[in-house]
Copies of this chain bind each other. A is one copy, B any other.
Amino acid sequence: MGRPRRPSLADVAARAGVSIGTVSHVLNHPERVRAATRLRVREAIAELGFVRNANAHSLAGGGARTIGLVIPDIGNSLFVDIARAAQERALENRTSLLVADSNNDDALQDRHLEFFASARVSGILLAPMRDPGIAVRRVRRLGIPVVLLNYAWDDDEHCSVVIDNRRAGELAARHLLELGRRRLAFVGGHDELQPVRDRREGVRSVVAASRGLATLVEIPTEDLVATGGVHAAAALLGLPDLPDGVIAVTDLLAMGLLQTLVQHGVAVPDDLALMGSDDNASAWGGSVPMTSVQMHGRALGAAATALLTEEMTDADHEHRRVEVAPTLAVRESTAGRAPADA
């Protein structure tokens, strides 16, 4: 009892019979210490179970080697992909990646930002659902680099990596038109969400360009997961004329649609071609593999981390915006059996 918890540098130094400065050296500049001493110190560290206090380390000027990632939804595979790739890139630079989920809550997002800021992380990756507003400015004022992910925000204060969501919508609509579908529907979300808005714009523009060849009906949903799809399917079925080509703004939504439509005897893709976007890893596991617009989350995460790393290290860094192009993954839900899958 009473044995000092949390051994400090001083404890290690005492045990190894050296000064505290020497211990610090074997931690940070081992080459400046004689091999024998180094060994002795390392033994003391092991025996004491010493773990360097990162707070003191950081306070005293040691580099932070931590980056924070703030995502709106840890259940969304796009952000999972982003996180995975970001972590891989971060580890290559010997830095840790911490993930904070803001659960689509702006206040929580701000809390997380503030937290990372107060922890003085070396950089932040932020994937906001809405305008991150002043919170992100606060962070920047502290000199902590922030890279915006998946959100187009026009100012030149930070780098950003975005998906061309408009193009995603265009790809989807064009695909259905090429399959001969004419009565299109766009299912998804509220206007408040930029990616939803952009994808819908893309769809609209293609339909508009068809000069009356195709029609478009838009069905908003409360959420972007399977439940929303189930409700939207009911709305579709209530239409006087069932669409023959449906674009869901997320794969989960498409899954919910699929399930309900099939239960009501609608043949997919014969009666109705259905597609999602995001290329959710789980979406292609169903019995009708889902056509989707791939968003390349891994590319997003990797690019963002690269930008952040550059900003963290290069003194003369110029803010840039990287666009990741979506691509089409054609599967059974639009193309039928024997699809030209990737």
Contacts and interface: CB of A to CB of B under 8 A. Distances in A.
A262 interface: yes
A342 to B, nearest CB: 14
Interface string A244-279: 000000001001101100110000100000000000
Given A98-B100, A99-B101, A100-B98, A51 B282 contact: no
Nearest to A46: B138
A77 interface: yes
Contact of A96 (B56, B57, B115): B115
Given A100-B99, A103-B87, A259-B286, A142 B75 contact: no
Contact of A226 (B108, B263, B284): B284
A315 interface: no
B285 A51 contact: no
Nearest to A68: B98
Nearest to A65: B115
Nearest to A286: B286
A103 B80 CA distance: 12
Given A97-B100, A285-B286, A54 B118 contact: yes
Contact of A74 (B83, B96, B289): B83
Interface in A96-142: 96-101, 103, 108, 111-112, 114-115, 117-120, 138, 141-142
B255 A118 contact: no
Contacts of A284: 226, 259
B100 A142 contact: no
A226 B280 CA distance: 12
A162 interface: no
Interface of A: 5-6, 49, 51-59, 66, 74-75, 77, 80, 83-84, 87, 91, 96-101, 103, 108, 111-112, 114-115, 117-120, 138, 141-143, 225-226, 229, 252, 255-256, 258-259, 262-263, 268, 280-289
4 A-B pairs with least C-beta separation = A255-B285, A286-B286, A54-B118, A282-B282
